[in-house]
Structure 1
Amino acid sequence: MDRRARRTRRMVAEINVVPYIDVMLVLLVIFMVTAPMLQQGVEVQPPSAASKPLPNQDDLPVIITVNKAGEYFVSNAPNPKAPLSLEEIKPLIIAARQVKPKIPVLVKGDGSADYRSVMQAMVAAQQAGVDKVGLVTTPVDGAPAGGGK
């Protein structure tokens, strides 16, 4: 009788999901740790101004950042956190506009940056063939949109 009991054993068809849950939790932790590091560009404090926001666009703009020390950074550079000269900015803008001719170009200057440095960034963008160069500001709390009074 022992032989028959052993022969009639059924196979258990269950999937153990515990390893999959472990892998999922590890991936979740990895994404939570790396997400803040994905912020591109250099940290600056743009000046406040009562202005209306740009319309929502599909294309990410090329952003030229000017920090307090007057160093230039470009968002589409191979290393966006490495300072560039004005002459290095122009080919990056030209390359971006060859791929997407209508891509907007914005200058994001630190509030305490030298006015001359911000203007030179705008001139470099215009020399690269950009018709309109926008300025990035932070909204003023309580100010009406559109620069109204």
Structure 2
Amino acid sequence: MAFERRSSRRLMNQINVVPYIDVMLVLLVIFMVTAPLINPGQIELPQVGQALAPATAPVEVIVRKNGALAVRDRNEPGAPRDITRGELVEWLRQKQAHNPEQAVVIAADKDARYEEVVKVLDLLQSQHVKRVGLLAKPASL
């Protein structure tokens, strides 16, 4: 009778790190080969001698309760002056000729009809005014 001898296997309580070292070396070679091929981006730093253009205050178009229009140029002192829609178009052309990036804000009376504000927005859009905004009064706390 043949006795089977059981071979007792010892449990392995260590990690085999050889495959990890192989993978690490392959990655190292890949990085070493590709690193010289990468072209770093160029950064354009600002020059000391360059001056920034001062910001211009927006032109304000005021829509009154009765639908009448007034304009105020915040770059020039003075009270707002009444204007018709035809005069507004010509006045805006003159302002846009000097500074095409100047903003225009619409300040409407709270009791003014929404339709009048939309008409002014449409007029500004037809004149190709690029920067248009609505002026709002913050609520009192």
Q: Which of these residues, 57, 60, 65, is aligned with residue 60 of structure 1?
A: 57
Q: Tell me if the contact between 1:61 and 1:103 (Cα under 8 Å) persists in the aligned partners.
A: yes
TM-score normalised according to structure 1 size: 0.51
TM-score normalised according to structure 2 size: 0.53
Q: 1 CA distance for matches of 2:94 and 2:58? A: 13
Q: 1 CA distance for matches of 2:116 and 2:88? A: 13
2:107 aligned counterpart, secondary structure = strand
Q: Which runs of 4+ in 1 moved over 6 A?
A: none
Aligned residue in 1 for 2:71: 74
2:123 aligned counterpart, secondary structure = helix
Q: Which has the higher helix share?
A: 1
Q: Tell me if the contact between 1:73 and 1:80 (Cα under 8 Å) persists in the aligned partners.
A: no
The CA deviation at 1:114 is 0.9
Q: 1 CA distance for matches of 2:91 and 2:126? A: 12
Aligned residue in 1 for 2:102: 103
The CA deviation at 1:131 is 2.4
2:117 aligned counterpart, secondary structure = helix
Aligned residue in 1 for 2:50: none
Q: Percent sequence identity over matched residues?
A: 23
Higher relative contact order at CA 8 Å, sep ≥6: structure 1 or structure 2?
Answer: 1
Aligned residue in 1 for 2:118: 119
**Paired positions, count:** 85
Q: Tell me if the contact between 2:61 and 2:106 (Cα under 8 Å) persists in the aligned partners.
A: yes
Mark the runs of 5 or more structure 2 residues left unpaired by the alignment.
1-53
Letter in 1 for 2:71: V
CA RMSD of aligned residues (A): 2.3
The CA deviation at 1:141 is 4.0
Mark the runs of 5 or more structure 1 residues left unpaired by the alignment.
1-56, 143-149
Q: 1 CA distance for matches of 2:123 and 2:65? A: 18
1:87 aligned counterpart, secondary structure = helix
Aligned residue in 2 for 1:38: none
1:70-108 deviation line (CA, Å, top 9, x unaligned):
1001114xx964432212111111111110111001100
Letter in 2 for 1:89: L
- 1:115 to 1:137, Cα distance in 2 relative to 1, 3 A: same
The CA deviation at 1:116 is 1.0
Q: 1 CA distance for matches of 2:98 and 2:131? A: 18
